[in-house]
Amino acid sequence: MAVDDECKLKFLELKAKRTYRFIIYKIDEKKKMVVVEKVGEPVLNYDDFAASLPANECRYAIFDYDFVTEENCQKSKIFFIAWSPDTSRVRSKMIYASSKDRFKRELDGIQVELQATDPTEVGLDVIRGRAN
Protein backbone atom coordinates (compact mmCIF):
# COMPACT_ATOMS: atom_id res chain seq x y z
CA MET A 1 0.00 0.00 0.00
CA ALA A 2 1.49 3.33 -1.06
CA VAL A 3 1.38 6.42 1.14
CA ASP A 4 0.58 9.80 -0.39
CA ASP A 5 3.28 12.41 0.38
CA GLU A 6 0.59 14.71 1.79
CA CYS A 7 0.08 12.20 4.64
CA LYS A 8 3.66 12.70 5.83
CA LEU A 9 3.64 16.47 5.22
CA LYS A 10 0.45 17.03 7.26
CA PHE A 11 1.83 14.85 10.06
CA LEU A 12 5.09 16.82 10.16
CA GLU A 13 3.11 20.08 10.30
CA LEU A 14 1.07 18.73 13.22
CA LYS A 15 4.18 17.48 15.03
CA ALA A 16 6.50 20.44 14.47
CA LYS A 17 4.21 23.43 14.11
CA ARG A 18 1.04 22.24 15.89
CA THR A 19 -0.89 23.30 12.78
CA TYR A 20 -3.66 20.73 13.35
CA ARG A 21 -5.46 19.08 16.28
CA PHE A 22 -6.06 15.89 14.32
CA ILE A 23 -5.66 14.21 10.94
CA ILE A 24 -7.97 11.52 9.54
CA TYR A 25 -6.48 9.22 6.90
CA LYS A 26 -8.27 6.76 4.65
CA ILE A 27 -7.20 4.11 2.18
CA ASP A 28 -8.25 4.92 -1.37
CA GLU A 29 -8.82 1.39 -2.67
CA LYS A 30 -8.83 2.46 -6.33
CA LYS A 31 -5.43 4.17 -6.03
CA LYS A 32 -4.16 1.59 -3.49
CA MET A 33 -2.88 4.49 -1.42
CA VAL A 34 -3.32 6.04 2.03
CA VAL A 35 -4.56 9.63 1.63
CA VAL A 36 -5.54 12.50 3.93
CA GLU A 37 -9.31 12.65 4.31
CA LYS A 38 -9.64 15.51 6.81
CA VAL A 39 -7.59 17.77 9.04
CA GLY A 40 -8.85 19.44 12.21
CA GLU A 41 -7.79 22.96 13.10
CA PRO A 42 -6.00 23.51 16.44
CA VAL A 43 -9.09 25.18 17.96
CA LEU A 44 -11.10 21.95 17.59
CA ASN A 45 -11.33 19.50 20.48
CA TYR A 46 -11.70 15.79 21.14
CA ASP A 47 -15.44 15.80 20.45
CA ASP A 48 -14.84 17.26 16.98
CA PHE A 49 -12.24 14.54 16.38
CA ALA A 50 -14.56 11.73 17.53
CA ALA A 51 -17.35 13.06 15.31
CA SER A 52 -14.98 12.85 12.32
CA LEU A 53 -14.56 9.07 12.63
CA PRO A 54 -17.14 7.35 10.40
CA ALA A 55 -19.41 4.89 12.22
CA ASN A 56 -19.14 2.10 9.62
CA GLU A 57 -15.78 2.60 7.91
CA CYS A 58 -12.16 2.02 8.92
CA ARG A 59 -9.71 4.90 9.20
CA TYR A 60 -6.30 5.78 10.56
CA ALA A 61 -6.12 8.89 12.70
CA ILE A 62 -3.61 11.10 14.47
CA PHE A 63 -4.78 13.07 17.49
CA ASP A 64 -2.62 15.65 19.28
CA TYR A 65 -3.73 15.53 22.91
CA ASP A 66 -2.84 18.45 25.20
CA PHE A 67 -2.89 17.93 28.95
CA VAL A 68 -1.49 19.24 32.24
CA THR A 69 0.54 16.91 34.47
CA GLU A 70 0.19 16.66 38.24
CA GLU A 71 3.28 18.88 38.44
CA ASN A 72 1.29 21.49 36.48
CA CYS A 73 3.37 21.11 33.31
CA GLN A 74 1.69 21.62 29.92
CA LYS A 75 2.37 18.58 27.72
CA SER A 76 1.04 16.91 24.61
CA LYS A 77 1.11 13.40 23.22
CA ILE A 78 0.60 12.34 19.61
CA PHE A 79 -1.78 9.39 19.35
CA PHE A 80 -2.05 7.04 16.39
CA ILE A 81 -5.50 5.46 16.26
CA ALA A 82 -6.41 2.49 14.11
CA TRP A 83 -10.19 2.85 13.83
CA SER A 84 -11.83 -0.38 12.71
CA PRO A 85 -15.50 -0.50 13.76
CA ASP A 86 -17.16 -3.89 14.09
CA THR A 87 -19.77 -2.75 11.57
CA SER A 88 -17.24 -2.06 8.78
CA ARG A 89 -16.73 -4.43 5.85
CA VAL A 90 -14.50 -7.46 6.52
CA ARG A 91 -12.40 -6.69 3.44
CA SER A 92 -11.86 -3.14 4.64
CA LYS A 93 -10.79 -4.33 8.11
CA MET A 94 -8.29 -6.72 6.51
CA ILE A 95 -6.79 -4.03 4.26
CA TYR A 96 -6.42 -1.56 7.14
CA ALA A 97 -4.94 -4.19 9.47
CA SER A 98 -2.38 -5.39 6.91
CA SER A 99 -1.33 -1.83 5.97
CA LYS A 100 -1.12 -0.34 9.46
CA ASP A 101 2.52 -1.08 10.37
CA ARG A 102 3.89 0.14 7.08
CA PHE A 103 1.85 3.33 7.31
CA LYS A 104 2.89 3.95 10.92
CA ARG A 105 6.57 3.69 9.94
CA GLU A 106 6.04 6.65 7.61
CA LEU A 107 4.94 8.84 10.53
CA ASP A 108 7.94 9.35 12.78
CA GLY A 109 6.97 10.73 16.18
CA ILE A 110 3.90 8.74 17.22
CA GLN A 111 3.95 8.38 21.01
CA VAL A 112 0.89 6.25 21.79
CA GLU A 113 -1.01 3.75 19.64
CA LEU A 114 -4.64 2.75 20.11
CA GLN A 115 -6.71 0.13 18.30
CA ALA A 116 -10.44 0.84 18.47
CA THR A 117 -13.51 -1.01 17.25
CA ASP A 118 -16.13 1.19 18.91
CA PRO A 119 -16.24 4.75 20.32
CA THR A 120 -15.72 3.66 23.95
CA GLU A 121 -12.26 2.26 23.09
CA VAL A 122 -11.12 5.67 21.92
CA GLY A 123 -12.99 7.79 24.47
CA LEU A 124 -11.39 10.83 26.06
CA ASP A 125 -11.00 8.89 29.33
CA VAL A 126 -8.97 6.21 27.50
CA ILE A 127 -6.78 8.86 25.84
CA ARG A 128 -6.32 10.66 29.16
CA GLY A 129 -5.31 7.39 30.82
CA ARG A 130 -2.80 6.45 28.12
CA ALA A 131 -1.23 9.94 28.01
CA ASN A 132 0.27 9.74 31.51
Residue 42: CB atoms within 10 Å: 14
- Which residue type occupies 109? G
Cα-Cα-Cα-Cα torsion 49, 98, 93, 123, nearest 10 degrees, comes to: -30
C-alpha angle 1/65/71, rounded to 5°? 140
Q: Could you tell me the domains of the chain?
A: 2-131 (3.40.20.10)
Question: What is the distance between the alpha carbons of residues 109 and 77, in angstroms, rounded to a whole number?
Answer: 10
List, for residues 58-113, the tens digit of each pLDDT value: 999 999 999 998 899 999 999 999 999 999 999 999 999 999 999 999 999 999 99
Averaged pLDDT, 39-54: 96
Compute the half-sphere exposure of residue 50: CA atoms within 13 Å on the CB side of its CA.
16
Question: pTM here?
Answer: 0.95
Written as one string, the DSSP assignment of 19-32 is --SEEEEEEETTTT
List, for residues 31-42, the tens digit of each pLDDT value: 999 999 999 999
